[in-house]
Structure 1
């Protein structure tokens, strides 16, 4: 029986045998993510997942899709590719948890100029790690070799997730009250937004990433490539014990764009600026780039990757539950009548 191989396609820049090798290398990583609902394995035309109707009463499916963006440029420059997959998963699953949904499965899409199997497997190892952290099964994906479209040493990475939540458990912000506590869940750094500005501030294409920074305690490249934190499991644990009014994933647009997205009409977020614990990387960017504070809070997460709104009486309990589930947390503000975000 003849195996699949095309000399003509290879001469055009696409080596299909490299794709097969990449699949073999990534299988060990994918195996780590398998959950009870995942059916079948890699290689089919569709990923199969069986929904547990005992766990979800009147299930509502929640989907999310996103990519890593120009943070990938940092990975290219450092030639380190085993963490950006975590970012890809995080940007999707952190969105669906804002509804109270548990991520069920994930699919990735990698488009590259040249399929180097070891590099593709390294990327997928990060995707698998993100899936393990969020409890999602990696049930499929696609690697597209596109010579002439992407440079040989570059790629793009995007993903898609589907989660589920019982209809009565969807977070309901319509019951929000004045004085409800806004709890900050710290970020691990810049996460995966604002990197066009990051690259301009540090002039990375000309100055590089190798310089050690005493302020950061590591090289600039290491600090910027730090993967996005995944908040799924702590937030799900919190929702089991406390009424969660709303959740916001702080991504591109920072505080001013993202926090209002979880607030009902007529409510605003009053944030105590002094309470916000901002990592040194943001102060360094503001100083070097001479970026106004307003723009910093309207571009970056400023050390807060997610915020959760709970009743004022439950604030301390919520912080304790989050910390018990491995997630540092603190109160940074409250819901008030009004519109938008006020940093006080």
Structure 2
């Protein structure tokens, strides 16, 4: 074959449009700008995001980093057209983990990957990210949008988040001061958040559920409850810090549920007893778990079952903490106690 017979190809012919990518960056600038902090230098478009850190108010600043995704919840969010929620979830799963160490999130970066860039969908994801960042006073400082034909099915996308925060070393909450007799305060979740969705999708399949049209026992549309965005607990932790509440440990109840996420912060020799009758299980879990026989252990190790964040502190601080959290807009329950270990590390009663 001679060179005269070769086809003429461009990057766009291969499925990637540089012009569309540039137009997308222009479209999301307003959302990104809404999250800015004084420490942010420059804007979108640089090879690296710049943040001028100023920690003069801290004795010994310690940086905290977290990265996460949204998991298979994305499949339902894509199926039902809720990209905004995907953006919120990506932020929440990172910053809530940092909040569990009493760290303040400083900035966030996202990685969006898709087969073909859909401006409407991707912009909605970024707007969700920006909304969550604003709630947490965290700057959306940069990101990457990758158009990869053949890697993703039409209409599908993936998202990864990365965040950096800071905490003054004397203020780190890591569970080492948890002691016998401490109280556990459970802070309500918005629903399943971003965990257990492989089981949720299986329950929907087995039950032949129509979440787009089903209603929960309280009249809430099933789709709104199942796909509710992950609650952001950063403002609650900031309120506790501002009020001077002495917290011994925080736990973000994600994958592993009550068992793994409480066990991971308990000092050796201590255990927790959780009274599952101390809070109402949200109707969304009753709805989903009504489709199959899921054992209690499996339920509370897969899902948050209505408690998305836990604070462990002394009995003398508990009343003050409850007041601070409720003033911050949280729903709070006393869900258990810490005691010397004489069996399992985490036990459920009730």
TM range (shorter): over 0.9
Seen in structure 2, the aligned counterparts of structure 1 residues 233 and 174 have a Cα distance that, compared at 3 Å, is same
Q: Secondary structure at the match of 1:158?
A: strand
Deviation at 1:172, TM superposition (A): 4.4
1:61, 1:221 → 2: CA distance? 38
Q: Secondary structure at the match of 1:99?
A: coil
Structure 2 unaligned residues grouped into runs of 5+: 1-7
Q: Secondary structure at the match of 1:53?
A: coil
- Whether 1:260 aligns to 2:263 is yes
1:343 corresponds to which residue?
348
Q: Is the 8 A contact 1:202 1:289 kept in 2?
A: no
Q: Secondary structure at the match of 2:309?
A: strand
Alignment of 1:72-91 (within 5 A): 72-91=74-93
1:143, 1:55 → 2: CA distance? 36
What TM-score results when the alignment is normalised by the length of structure 1?
0.95
- Whether 1:151 aligns to 2:156 is no
- 1:211-237 Cα distance to aligned partner (Å, 9 max, x none): 231425233222211100000111122
- Whether 1:121 aligns to 2:128 is no
2:254 corresponds to which residue?
251
Q: Is the 8 A contact 1:25 1:118 kept in 2?
A: no
- 1:42-74 Cα distance to aligned partner (Å, 9 max, x none): 111111111122233211000000000111111
- 1:131-178 Cα distance to aligned partner (Å, 9 max, x none): 111111000000001110101210001100000001111114222221
2:190, 2:40 → 1: CA distance? 30
2:209, 2:347 → 1: CA distance? 37
- Whether 1:275 aligns to 2:274 is no
Q: Secondary structure at the match of 1:278?
A: coil
Stretch deviating more after TM superposition (126-135 or 204-213): 204-213
Q: Is the 8 A contact 1:285 1:291 kept in 2?
A: no
Highest Rg: 1 or 2? 2
RMSD of aligned Cα (Å):
1.6
- Whether 1:300 aligns to 2:289 is no
Q: Secondary structure at the match of 2:83?
A: coil
Q: Secondary structure at the match of 2:272?
A: strand
Q: Is the 8 A contact 2:186 2:332 kept in 1?
A: yes
2:186, 2:310 → 1: CA distance? 5
What TM-score results when the alignment is normalised by the length of structure 2?
0.93
Q: Is the 8 A contact 1:74 1:221 kept in 2?
A: no
Structure 1 unaligned residues grouped into runs of 5+: 1-5
Dislocated runs of 4+, deviation >6 Å:
none
Deviation at 1:272, TM superposition (A): 1.2
Alignment length (residue pairs): 339
2:223, 2:30 → 1: CA distance? 28
Q: Is the 8 A contact 1:22 1:118 kept in 2?
A: no
